[in-house]
Structure 1
Amino acid sequence: MSPGDASESPMDATYVFRVTFRLDPTGVTADPETFETVVTRPAVDPGTEGWLFFRDVCWRGEVSDEAYLRERVEDWLSVPVTAVSFSELRADEAYLDALRDAIADDPSFDDTPRAVLHAHLGSSIRVTD
């Protein structure tokens, strides 16, 4: 089946991050100035543009380049971010199957899909219904 085929079951996946951000008020003070929140980012379909997000930002279930990801999250939230950590990839079985297939088909990976996912996401994959 090709991507977008109507007979395919829908896929669902989300990246989850814990984020600490601060307010940067002008001419006033805020108390507290720093807040913690959970930020979720929908995962794109495997094999489509941006699907390698997991490879580009995670290693062993941790953020591989916090400064880079902090800048991305600042763009998403429009506030200064002081810390970001990866929590998990929440995904249904259909998404994980498609992700494994895309990894197996991608010549830039020289390991099994299971090993690739473990190397980048560690044990931070939660399967949802």
Structure 2
Amino acid sequence: MQANYVFRVTIQLDPPAARVDPDRFETVCRLPAATPGTDGWLFFQHNLWRGDVADAEHMRALLTDKLGVDVVEVSFSELETDAAYRAALENEIETDLLRFNADSVEEVLHQHLGSSIHVRESEAIRGD
């Protein structure tokens, strides 16, 4: 069971003792998704809305901390998941729909992830 939150990020390098060119570039960042029901599994609820980053400044700071470089732009691309993770996520959401102020699992997923959920074979998802 694996899943990653996938972001496109623009990174700014500003080394104190050297000059780099280019000093700004875009790359893809994959954050492993916490197992549904465990600490951190509500990342999508706290950080995403309608398939986009809910608070860009917060997400830039979070990714700057995780990556150790200055993230100056960020956009959400997708939740890449295997079928087992998606089923576990849906099951966990269904156990407490009131938390999400929604009538269905599909509504919750759409509210936070939009249509940006892509189910892949487990081997295709890099969890590191």
In the superposition, the TM-score normalised over structure 2's length comes to: 0.89
Residue matched to 1:113: 105
1:61 equivalent to 2:51? Answer yes
What amino acid is the match of 1:25? P
Q: Offset at 1:24? A: 1.1
Matched letter for residue 122 of structure 1:
G
Gaps of 5+ in 2: 122-128
More helix by share: 2
Q: Residue in 1 aligned with 2:84?
A: 94
User: Any stretches of 5+ residues in structure 1 without a counterpart?
Assistant: 1-10
- What residue is the counterpart of 1:5 in the other structure? none
CA positional deviation for 1:126: 0.3
Counterpart CA distance in 1 for 2:37 and 2:113 is 18
* Identity %, equivalent residues: 51
Summarize deviations over 1:79-123 as a string: whole Å, max 9, x none.
111101100000111111111111111241232111000010000
Deviating beyond 6 angstroms after TM superposition, the runs of 4 or more aligned structure 1 residues are none
Partner of 1:19: 9
Pairwise CA distance, 1:52: 0.3
Please name the residue that 2:117 is paired with.
125
> How many angstroms apart in 2 are the aligned matches of 1:127 and 1:54?
16
User: How many residues are treated as equivalent by the alignment?
Assistant: 119
Which residue does the alignment assign to 1:6? none
Give 1:66 deviation, angstroms: 0.5
Higher-Rg member (1/2): 1
- Alignment correspondent of 2:124: none
Q: CA RMSD of the aligned region, Å?
A: 1.0
Question: Residue by residue, what CA displacement relative to the aligned partner does 1:8-65 show, whole Å, maximum 9, x if unpaired?
Answer: xxx1111100000111121432211101110001111101100000111110000000
Q: Secondary structure at the match of 2:100?
A: coil
